[in-house]
Amino acid sequence: MVLSWRNHEQVRQMMFSSEPISLEQHTGWFERASKEADRQLLVFELDGQPTGFANLGRIACGGITDWGFYLAPHAPKGSGRQLGFTILTHAFRALKLHKVCGQVLDFNQRSIQFHLNQGFQQEGIFRQQHFDGRQYHDIRCFGLLAADWLANN
């Protein structure tokens, strides 16, 4: 299910690697990632239906993590906001993390706006950091501190 979402054209075109992922690649990644004690792989459900995926990757000493996420292609409008709130609630209230960081390709305006709407601050830009095989793209770096998020939620 998660692999089919990740390989959907609308999802793939916004990823750092936009090529389809094989079942073998996905299975290998999942086996490795699920054994990492400092990583959380989460399926987001809305009204009991799997609707999205989030990855809290390699939680560093001090409670700082990078996140990545995507919605199922069939996800209803507004699901992204709910996914963000749910995952950030888990990160800051249950896991007691200090900071969640995200990176977004500069052309992904929806994800940029999503991060800003969730309370993230843009902390920098990696200029022409990502080459997609045709051209270079900037990467915007975002961060959200637990204190900031908890004060507003």
Q: Could you tell me the residue ranges of all domains in the chain? A: 2-152
- Mean pLDDT in residue range 105-111: 94
Token pair, residue 89, equals 């609630």
List phi, psi (to 5°) of 145.
Answer: -85, 145
pLDDT of 100 over the 90 cut: yes
What are the tens digits of pLDDT across the range 31-45? 999 999 899 999 999
Residue ranges in the chain assigned as alpha helix (H): 2-7, 9-12, 23-34, 79-89, 109-118, 146-152
User: pTM of the predicted model, to two decimals?
Assistant: 0.91
The pLDDT tens digits for 51-72 are 999 999 878 889 999 999 999 9
Kindly report the CATH number that applies to the domain delimited by 2-152: 3.40.630.30
Q: At residue 151, does pLDDT exceed 80? A: yes
Q: What are phi and psi of 136, to 5 degrees?
A: -90, 150
**What DSSP state is assigned to residue 43?**
E
